[in-house]
Amino acid sequence: DADVTQTPRNRITKTGKRIMLECSQTKGHDRMYWYRQDPGLGLRLIYYSFDVKDINKGEISDGYSVSRQAQAKFSLSLESAIPNQTALYFCATRGGGANTGELFFGEGSRLTVL
């Protein structure tokens, strides 16, 4: 089993619908992240969490919200999806030192908003 699991892996939805992407990890890391990837734009940080009570906005948090239900679970929600939120979404955890720890990524969730 993967250390970082994302569900769903693929989702097609319509404009205005609420969508939740879920992430769970078995690595025991406190730090978790949500990124989105668009062709030619690399990975952009949406939200990150250092522990259950510490959640921070990233570069592109508008239109998104998150919930850290437990150390192992970090969910990303789109309250009212729009077409420009069509992208590949990655969840990641980070262990090791605060400055040098490695990011471990899930396999990605491909979201299409029609």
Phi-psi region of 46 (alpha: psi -120 to 50; beta: other; left: phi over 0): alpha
Binding range to other proteins, per CB under 8 A, among 14-22, 66-74, 76-84, 94-102:
94-102
Q: Does 103 bind other proteins (CB under 8 A)?
A: yes
Closest contact distance (angstroms) between CB of 16 and other proteins is: 29
Shortest distance, position 14 Cβ to other proteins, whole Å: 25
| Interaction residues for other proteins, span 1-30 (CB under 8 A) | 4
Check binding of 90 to other proteins (CB under 8 A): yes
DSSP-derived secondary structure for the chain: --SEEEE-SEEEE-TT--EEEEEEESS--SEEEEEEEETTTEEEEEEEEEETTEEEE-TT-TT-EEEEEETTEEEEEESS--GGG-EEEEEEEE-S-TTTPPEEE---EEEEE-
Q: Looking at 35, 76, 93, 113, which residue binds other proteins (CB under 8 A)?
A: 35
Residues near other proteins (CB under 8 A) are 4, 33, 35, 40-45, 48, 50, 56, 58-59, 90, 92, 94, 98-100, 102-103, 105-108
